[in-house]
Structure 1
Amino acid sequence: MQHAGAAAPLKVDIAEKTFRSAEGVTIDALRGLSFEVRQGEFACLFGPSGCGKTTTLRILLGLDQAFYGSYQLPKGGSNRIAAVFQEPVLLPWRTVEQNVRLALPSGTRDMDLDGLFDILGLSSMRSLYPSELSLGLARRAALARAFATEPAILLLDEPFASLDERTADKLRRLLMTVWSTRPTTALMVTHNLREALLLADRVIVLSPRPAHVRGIFDVDVPRQARHVQALDDLVSDFRTKFPDAG
């Protein structure tokens, strides 16, 4: 069930989530998963593949209601939830700009998006169709669509997976730029430790399945100072605290 309120911007308390495999075996996905994300914070869920990170996002998006527990979503402003997935999920018969504007409430679809398109490097591509975009550009369009709604919370499910490292790193930094200009509470799933340490204020470390929180790693280095050596030092500090995580 979902509980709404103002006690915490995002509060997750999932007692149990199970599902049946194709062979009919009951699998414990989440058990005793509890954490909070503060207002305006960028947090990452980090853990081994298959531990339940995406399942957690699906619950928060209301796509999976077969669980025991509760969660509380942020309130205030638009009260909207935006999500960015591994696939851009753009309508192929709509242009980039049309895809972005379709996500807006009907009364705001003529709002000025010039600044957003400019930050994401899409100003000259607004009239292109998804088939004319590289995967990296399509993912920029997906980010534009999410931020255009000015959401109360942004959920991201490994949005840079399957990209080459150069393209992925450029998109991570674009994400930070647009998030800094349009701040919102954000929760991102990743199994890439350096990505988590580059982007997040805090990294929420999950155990293997059934997932619960092993601990929290606070990233106390300012984002503008997270260059290669600083990230190396953060990785070392993280591995000292969580030697077998991920």
Structure 2
Amino acid sequence: MNTLRPVGADARLEIEIRRKSFEASRGGSIDVLHDLDFAVEQNEFACLVGPSGCGKTTTLRLLLGLDHDFEGRIKLPGAGEPRIGMVFQEPILLPWRTVEENVRLALPKALQGKNLDHLFDALGLGKLRAFYPGELSLGLARRAALARALAIEPDLLVLDEPFVSLDEATAQQLRHLLLQIWSEHPTTVLMVTHNVQEAIMLADRIFVLSPRPSHVVGSFLIRVPRQSRNPQVRSDILRSFHERFPTQL
């Protein structure tokens, strides 16, 4: 039995997955998640890291309600029907709609007609609102996908490797843009990444997952303010991370 329900507006995200399995093609089942427990505090930026195939994306699918077949419970932040902004690995923009139309499609009724000028300008999309996805580079398409997730004023922002396959310069630019917007309008964030250095740049806390069936090996709290995380400091934090989790990734 599973539960997926919203709680009070000041509540944190809580994930307690006793068991998640898939049917194997040759019979039987494969356990993917087992006793996976962690919580993300209100307005905290948390990252999930772990080996490939350990169940990070599966965890996000359960969180988003795309898969209800699991044992455990998930408590979402936000009052009433919580707003969840999602950024997938691919932008998933409708090719026959403009950038602005793609973003506005996600707006709930209460935010229809919202002024999006500041958001588009912050993401460098101010002059591209009337462009179609086919006219955008991958980096710009990723910005549009991020704008769509942020425009709804989410109670929870979920990111599934949003900067994967980008060149490092473009990815770094988008990381800075994300942090800039998030610092102006904090919300609870859960992000999956394979890139520990990216997690160290962005996160307040990193949750480290084991190989399948996945559980939380431990969490790594980063107390250094983001504005102080220069390359040398990030290198020191990375060394401390690997000293604590030497064989997990």
**What is the TM-score when the length of structure 1 is the normalising length?**
0.96
User: More deviation in 21-30 or 200-209?
Assistant: 21-30
Tell me if 1:155 matches 2:158.
yes
Return the letter of the residue paired with 2:39: E
Pairing 1:65-84 to 2, within 5 Å after superposition? 65-76=68-79, 79-84=82-87
Among residues 201, 204, 207, which one is paired with 2:204 in the alignment?
201
Q: Give the number of aligned pairs.
A: 246
- 2:227 aligns with 224
Mapped contact 1:78–1:152 kept (Cα < 8 A) = no
User: More deviation in 191-200 or 17-26?
Assistant: 17-26
Structure 1 residue 112, shift from structure 2 partner: 0.9
The whole-number CA distance in structure 2 between the counterparts of 1:76 and 1:181 is 21
Mapped contact 1:53–1:189 kept (Cα < 8 A) = yes
- 1:186 aligns with 189
> Superposition RMSD on alpha carbons, in Å?
1.4
Question: Unpaired runs of 5+ in structure 1?
Answer: none
SS in 2 for 1:125: coil
User: More deviation in 137-146 or 176-185?
Assistant: 176-185
Per-residue Cα deviation, 1:169-228 (whole angstroms, up to 9, x for no partner): 111111111111121100000111001111000001111111101111001111112121
- 2:248 aligns with 245
Pairing 1:22-41 to 2, within 5 Å after superposition? 22-41=25-44
Mapped contact 1:78–1:150 kept (Cα < 8 A) = no
Question: Unpaired runs of 5+ in structure 2?
Answer: none
Among residues 209, 215, 218, which one is paired with 1:215 in the alignment?
218
The whole-number CA distance in structure 1 between the counterparts of 2:67 and 2:56 is 13
Per-residue Cα deviation, 1:133-152 (whole angstroms, up to 9, x for no partner): 00000000000010000011
Percent identity among equivalent residues? 59
The whole-number CA distance in structure 2 between the counterparts of 1:33 and 1:107 is 35
SS in 2 for 1:161: coil
The whole-number CA distance in structure 2 between the counterparts of 1:45 and 1:35 is 10
Tell me if 1:5 matches 2:7.
yes
User: More deviation in 71-80 or 117-126?
Assistant: 71-80
- 2:101 aligns with 98
SS in 2 for 1:57: helix
The whole-number CA distance in structure 1 between the counterparts of 2:169 and 2:27 is 42
